[in-house]
């Protein structure tokens, strides 16, 4: 079904949405969801259309958004979740947070304002991490170790190798025990400037919860080292410190951070070759920078964390 056909189907079957004129398409992100913005009872709303087979996952996402919105966390407030009569298409209606994404906004801010926005974003992330996984959820250390082993197998046969990869793999093996007894908490799992909204030069909220997961909260900071530092190092440093009540984190944080970054270096190669081979060169440049940041993982605290501004 073409996008315009599925939008027409949703608007035809849902009287509330059908009464709204001027839905405009937003082309953004990797989620596969089709996004539209419209005016609902005097405020902007976001209509998210997705394939019906994803309804169970969207139900969980909707419930998490309800949980966070009622606790004052700056995220979209979910308003409706439904499916078309043929169950081929699902849709979610939520409030829309107006503003610019961080990738655009941060470049227009002073160094001090970028750092201040990072402090706010880190503090907000800490609030998301107050939600714990169900008690029956698999042990983090066991699940993450097994996932890493699968990625290593894929990496070794994917046909692309990174310089110094055996040293990186050895570093990971030496540090896997650091994940023992780590908490399983809510993860946005895509918390970077592209999914953060800014308004009037300040952090205004977080969007795009579709990749949520459970896991070690330190794992959430992968996106800082992979993506955020390419947009703003002051914001990245501020986010980490904001999460830790304005303080520099301890060595235990950096040990886990480096472990997860090293794992991500390996898994990212296998992932990009398999799913987005046309982006392999771009990914290798990024991973080369990560390796440099950690001196091939001789350093756990990355070099950019020492930048004075």
Give tens-digit pLDDT for 129-139. Answer: 999 999 999 99
Tell which phi-psi region holds residue 233, choosing left (phi > 0), alpha (psi between -120 and 50) or beta.
Answer: alpha
What pLDDT, on the 0 to 100 scale, is given for residue 219?
98
Average pLDDT, the chain: 96
Report the relative pairing of strands 100-101 and 196-199 from DSSP bridges. antiparallel
> How open is the CA angle 131-134-138, to the nearest 5 degrees?
115
Token pair of 45 as six digits:
């709303």
Express each pLDDT in 91-101 by its tens digit: 999 999 999 99
What pLDDT, on the 0 to 100 scale, is given for residue 2?
87
If you average pLDDT over residues 239-259, what whole number do you get? 98
Percent of the chain with pLDDT over 70: 99
**SS3 of 34, please?**
strand
Q: CB 15: neighbour CB atoms within 10 A?
A: 8
What pLDDT, on the 0 to 100 scale, is given for residue 27?
82
Which residue segments constitute the domains of the chain, with CATH numbers given? 3-95 (3.30.200.20), 100-306 (3.90.1200.10)
Q: Is the pLDDT of residue 29 over 70?
A: no
What pLDDT, on the 0 to 100 scale, is given for residue 180?
98
What pLDDT, on the 0 to 100 scale, is given for residue 42?
82
What pLDDT, on the 0 to 100 scale, is given for residue 308?
77
What pLDDT, on the 0 to 100 scale, is given for residue 41?
78
Express each pLDDT in 139-165 by its tens digit: 999 999 999 999 999 999 999 999 999
Q: Is the pLDDT of residue 309 over 80?
A: no
Distance separating alpha carbons of residues 181 and 139, to the nearest angstrom: 8
What pLDDT, on the 0 to 100 scale, is given for residue 30?
63
What pLDDT, on the 0 to 100 scale, is given for residue 22?
86
What secondary structure does DSSP assign to 90-144, as a single string?
EEEEEE---SEEHHHHGGGS-HHHHHHHHHHHHHHHHHHTTSBPPTTSPPHHHHH
Distance separating alpha carbons of residues 16 and 257, to the nearest angstrom: 46
If you average pLDDT over residues 2-26, what whole number do you get? 91
């Amino acid at each position: 079904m073409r996008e315009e056909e599925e939008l027409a189907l949703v608007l035809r079957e849902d009287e509330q949405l059908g009464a709204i004129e001027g839905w405009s398409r937003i082309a953004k992100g990797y989620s596969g969801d089709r996004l539209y913005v419209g005016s609902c009872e005097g405020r902007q709303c976001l209509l998210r259309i997705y394939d019906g087979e994803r309804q169970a996952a969207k139900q969980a996402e909707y419930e998490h958004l309800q949980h966070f919105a009622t606790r004052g966390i700056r995220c979209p407030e979910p308003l409706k979740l439904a499916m078309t009569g043929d169950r081929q298409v699902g849709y979610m209606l939520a409030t829309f947070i107006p503003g610019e994404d961080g990738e655009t906004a941060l470049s227009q801010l002073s160094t001090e304002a970028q750092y201040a926005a990072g402090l706010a974003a880190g503090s907000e992330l800490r609030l998301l991490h107050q939600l714990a996984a169900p008690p029956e959820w698999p042990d983090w250390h066991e699940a993450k170790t097994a996932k890493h082993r699968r990625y290593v197998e894929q990496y070794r046969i994917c046909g692309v190798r990174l310089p110094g990869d055996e040293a990186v793999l050895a570093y990971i093996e030496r540090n896997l025990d650091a994940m023992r007894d780590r908490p399983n908490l809510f993860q946005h799992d895509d918390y970077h400037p592209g999914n953060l909204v800014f308004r009037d030069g300040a952090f205004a909220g977080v969007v795009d919860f579709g990749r949520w997961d459970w896991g070690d909260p330190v794992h959430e900071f992968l996106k800082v080292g992979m993506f955020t530092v390419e947009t703003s190092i002051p914001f990245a440093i501020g986010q980490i410190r904001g999460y830790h009540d304005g303080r520099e984190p301890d060595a235990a944080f950096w040990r886990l951070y480096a472990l997860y970054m090293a794992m991500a270096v390996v898994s990212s190669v296998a992932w990009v070759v398999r799913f987005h081979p046309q982006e392999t060169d771009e990914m290798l440049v990024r991973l080369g920078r990560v390796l440099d940041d950690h001196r091939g993982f001789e350093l756990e605290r990355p070099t950019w964390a020492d930048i004075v501004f």
